[in-house]
Amino acid sequence: MIFLYPSLFGEGYTILKEVLKGNGEVVGNPVIFGSLKQSPIYFTVILFGLILLKVIAMAVTQGIGGIGGTFAPAIFIGGISGFFAAHVINLVTGLNVSYSNFTLVGMAGVMSGVMHAPLTAVFLIAEITGGYALLTPLISVSAIAYLTSYYFEPNSIYTRQLAARKELITHDKDKAVLILMKLDRHIETNFSQVHPDATLGDLVKIVANSSRNVFPVVDEEKNFQ
């Protein structure tokens, strides 16, 4: 996959910088796809192939225990998807929509849907652009992406595994933690007890055979003395 699309290797920020400039021709192996990129139809297929293979590469990397991250792939897929959408709109309708704006909005949309953090996506992309000219489309796309994702998967990619194990706590965290706490896991019982009437010799034997340095003194009824 990396042979076909070298941009799959690493975070992909270098490719995103070029895409933000409207230079989408950098995607794909230039030797294999060099002449095909000149055709708008073939270029559309090449872009779609990059999006598809990025998802597969990320899933395979995570599935086999590798470290592929979540933030960087989401940014990459979102940016390329936005560029792809702009390309299709321009190709089909003959308009001239902004590639860079669609790329930025796509990044915010995927971040919002994957991480369930629409506000983070909106303000992060706003900071990247250095202004709030795209605030309205960013809010709209992020809200739609979040609501759509939440309808199919109520938990984000970070909390889904916790929810599957029924360990996700969302409300009254202190109370919930105390309720779920198993006291037998925390109470220590491997203490060697000392009787109030024990002699120094008895204490020496107890100390010698004990793995702890605390020796409770209790009577026959297990009451502390």
Residue-wise burial string across 16-53, b where 16 or more C-beta atoms lie within 10 A, e elsewhere: beebbeeebebbbeeeebeeebeeeeebeebbebbbeb
Asked if residues 76 and 54 have their Cβ atoms less than 8 Å apart, the reply is yes
What are 29's two structure tokens? 């192996």
Whether the pTM exceeds 0.85: the reply is no
Of 174 and 146, the one with more pLDDT: 146
**pLDDT for 163-212, tens place per residue?**
777 767 666 667 767 767 777 777 777 888 888 888 888 888 888 888 88
Percentage of the chain lying above the pLDDT 90 cut: 18
Q: How much is the average pLDDT of 52-70? A: 85
* Percentages of the chain per state (helix, strand, coil), in multiples of 5: 65, 0, 35
Residues 8, 10, 16: CA angle, nearest 5 degrees:
70
What are 154's two structure tokens? 């109520």
